[in-house]
Chains A and B, each alone.
Chain A
Amino acid sequence: MDFVNAVVQGTLLGGLYALFAAGLSLIFGVMRLVNIAHGDLIVLAAYLGLTTTVALGVHPLVALVVVVPAMAGIGYVLQRCVLNHTLGDDILPPLLVTFGLSVIIQNALLEGYSADPQKMDAGALETASVALGPLSLGVLPLLTFAIAVAVIAGLQWTFYRTPLGRAFRATSDNQDIAQLMGLNKRHVFGLAMALALAVTAVAGILLGIRTSFDPSVGGGRLIFGFEAVIIGGLGNLWGTLVGGVILGVAQTVGATINPGWQLLAGHIAFLVILAVRPNGLFPRISA
């Protein structure tokens, strides 16, 4: 029964990891940018959520109304003012610049909020649970998983059913020709980053309700996000959800065997999949 419970809890945890990963996957898919600062941007969103809840006295989920557009705005400006200038044939500049960005965000948060762990207060939602036979499922993890599925379905729909998604895919395929179609690639990239950070905002708030956070935890979230993306296969959003679930299940099952093995088990699952299927489980078939 412990194992069934671990698998179910891990699956729900995987929803959070999929949210960490979705923004990463989207940015890489559209502009081949590996964003090292992604984890720190998640933490930044959590702090923005904290400030919003404290300043306005609202529930953390209500704070999404403020934090999602704020992060989207930050994403657009960041892309237009900084990251667009790093993109080119060489993949090193964006890595270095986002690494620098990661350091800047961490230190700015440390300066602004101190190193004390913080947590958002979601009231009864944090402890509410529903019984499912012998299992007890937290309402928050269930909600997180449902949000993850909704976000990924929404991204999928945006990508394959809207003019914006067509612009993303066309620019990703061939930047020169996309520009000949009247698409300003800098603007398209800005919109992609805005969308990615809007998702990051959701991930950050849910992270901040679930656990305590401090300015240094971004790196770990980045690793989980990367692992979920790679397990699922680059460029496949539903694969990213599966990747998050596999990672979450590996961690909770590992923790059931021995509490010290939680992170290790996740990394081992990642390495095994990388060794057996180097392109991930569901790589997008590229032309």
Chain B
Amino acid sequence: MPDAILKLSKLNAFYGDFQALYDVDLNVNEGEVLAIIGANGAGKTTLLRSISGLIGNDPAQVTFRGTSIGAERPDVVARMGLAMVPEGRQLFPSLSVEENLMIGGRVNRKGPWTLRKVYDLFPILEERKAQASTSLSGGQQQMVAIGRALMSNPELIMFDEISLGLAPVIIRDIYAALPGIVGGGMSAVIVEQDITKALAVSSRVYCLQEGRVSLEGKSGAVSRDDIARAYFGVE
């Protein structure tokens, strides 16, 4: 597919001696929102860590805009325009809210996202900008984590377990902000436990099961039964 922005070819990823991913083939197309679902331990986070360079792989197993990045360092990958909102937010505790956002902008890529735009998207962050990032509520911390990733003006943004540990009302707010984030032509990968949410915002979906792709399809076209089978591996 020529318009794939990110392509995984037979990705095998390891945690030490433990193999977490087996021959994973996956495409993210230009401008689309792709959902990746799967049970705990299916390899979703390993997949994102492999793409972002935190886990090293063979160069050709991950290509971004035609460039092999499987073996690149994570900071090089980030500068190419790939950003991640990590699982559990993982803000920098010794940095204030604004400093967390500014460090995201350090990559210095041109684009629409500035401190101003992030504050327009999440006004509460401007009120709290001088506070320690750890003093915010979970939902506000998630906003900082998203803003921090946006500040690098990525071409592809990856969300790892965006709703994990957040109250339903906060999750709804965050998902309501999502179209404004990915609307500007940015591609996105969303890793999510909440299958309904994942299907609602994405155009295509992959399901991982024990390190392998068990289902791939259009989000609107996959049936609940297909997903149940792919998710749990039961017939």
Contact = CB atoms under 8 A, between A and B. Distances in A.
B159 to A, nearest CB: 13
Interface in A172-212: 172-174, 176-185
Contacts of A173: 92-95
B78 A179 contact: yes
Interface centre among A169, A170, A176, A178 (most CB of B within 10 A): A170
Contacts of A167: 103, 106
A182 B106 contact: yes
Interface string B81-105: 0011010001011110001001110
Nearest to B74: A179
Interface string B60-88: 00000000000001111011000110100
A184 B73 contact: yes
A287 interface: yes
B69 to A, nearest CB: 14
Contacts of A286: 93
Contact of B73 (A163, A179, A181): A179
A169 B94 contact: yes
Nearest to A176: B54
Interface string A48-92: 000000000000000000000000000000000000000000000
Contacts of B79: 182
B120 to A, nearest CB: 22
A181 B106 CA distance: 7
Contacts of B152: 181-182
A277 interface: no
Enumerate the 8 nearest inter-chain pairs by beta-carbon distance, A residue then B residue, closest first. Answer: A287-B93, A182-B107, A179-B74, A182-B78, A173-B92, A169-B94, A184-B75, A170-B92
Interface of B: 52-54, 73-76, 78-79, 83-84, 86, 90, 92-95, 99, 102-104, 106-108, 132, 134, 148, 152
11 contacts: A163-B106, A169-B92, A169-B99, A173-B92, A176-B54, A179-B74, A181-B103, A181-B106, A181-B152, A183-B106, A185-B75
